[in-house]
Amino acid sequence: MARSILITGASSGIGEALAVEFARRGYAVAVAARREDRLQALAERLSAAGAAAALPLVLDVTDFAAIDPALERAAREFGRLDVVVANAGVAYSLPVGRSRFEQVRRTIDTDLTAAIATIELALPRLRAQGGGQIVAITSVAASRGLPLMGPYSAAKAGLHRYLQALRAEVRHEGITVTELAPGYIDTELNRGMRSRPFVIPVERGAAIMAGLIERGAGHRYVPTWPWALIVPLLAIAPTRLVAPAPRKP
């Protein structure tokens, strides 16, 4: 039986590229996202790329009650779920005290609460089948509160700490917990940014991530170099080095 994987936030960006990469590796791939038209087109691409099966699932992860039925359908269609990837996320430029709170709340709901909900609802299935793998996508931004990215940094840092606790609790249960923390990977979420240091193509990022997932990595930056060196320095850098220069009147 082919290995199976479910990926949330799969209609674009990292999620879409990961789905294509795992299809090439012969997995049965369930892709979950809000945009049905893009999901249907993606499912056809996955089949053409070599997926053992391709299952599109229309899902808004902030509709928490809809997550469990999506997991159940994928598990039923594939017979089991070997890997569940909590990838769905949003990223807005949100200056503190000057942003619409709806965007702040959506960031926390999507990037933190929905990711935790996906994992919490997947775990009983993995336990019942005797094991599996949880994968969550955080960010190098989890290491430091970055200007204009306060809610995003907070959500990813919260998810990082949750994953640490999860890994400690399930370490004797046959469940692997993988946290992947990308730097700048070329996607729609960051193409409007003025600076994207060390940016890499999304296809390369997905290939790196798929390899780390298959190896059962714990926590890794993507790509490892130079972020494994930069992130610890970023975490302790003085605020003046990461703060934007004041605008001239």
Instruction: For 214-241, write each residue's pLDDT tens digit.
Output: 999 999 999 999 999 999 999 999 999 8
Which conformational region is residue 29 in: left (phi greater than 0), alpha (psi within -120 to 50 degrees), or beta? beta
* pLDDT, tens digit (0-9, with 9 covering 90-100), for 181-198: 999 999 988 887 778 999
| CA 124 to mean position of chain CA atoms | 20
Phi-psi region of 178 (alpha: psi -120 to 50; beta: other; left: phi over 0): beta
B/e letters for 130-166, b = 16+ CB within 10 Å, e = fewer, are eebbbbbbbbbbbbbbbeebbbbbbbbbbbbebbeeb
Predicted confidence (pLDDT) at residue 247 exceeds the cutoff of 70: no
Which stretch of DSSP H or E encloses residue 233? helix 224-236
Residue 191, pLDDT score: 84
Cis ω before 232 (30° cut-off from 0) = no
* Average pLDDT of the chain, as a whole number: 95
Start-to-end CA distance of the chain, whole Å, equals 65
Q: What angle do CA 211, 107, 230 make, to 5 degrees?
A: 50
- Indicate which residue of 27, 92, 152, 221 is catalytic: 152
């606790």: which residue's tokens?
Answer: 165
Count Cβ atoms within 10 A of the Cβ of residue 120 and give its class: 0-12 exposed, 13-18 middle, 19 or more buried: middle
pLDDT of 248: 59
What is the C-alpha to C-alpha distance for residues 142 and 150, in angstroms, rounded to an integer? Answer: 10
User: How is residue 245 written in tokens?
Assistant: 């220069």
Q: 């996955």: which residue's tokens?
A: 46
CA distances from 214 to 82, 156, 176, 247 (A): 11, 23, 11, 46
184 is catalytic: no
Domain 4-242 adopts which CATH fold? Rossmann fold (3.40.50)
pLDDT on residue 249? 53
Residue 30: pLDDT band by 50, 70, 90 thresholds? very high
Give residue 71's pLDDT: 98
The answer to whether residue 245 scores a pLDDT higher than 80 is: no
Q: Who's near 166: CB < 8 A, 6+ residues apart?
A: 119, 134, 177
Whether the pTM exceeds 0.75: the reply is: yes
Say which residue the tokens 């229309």 belong to: 58
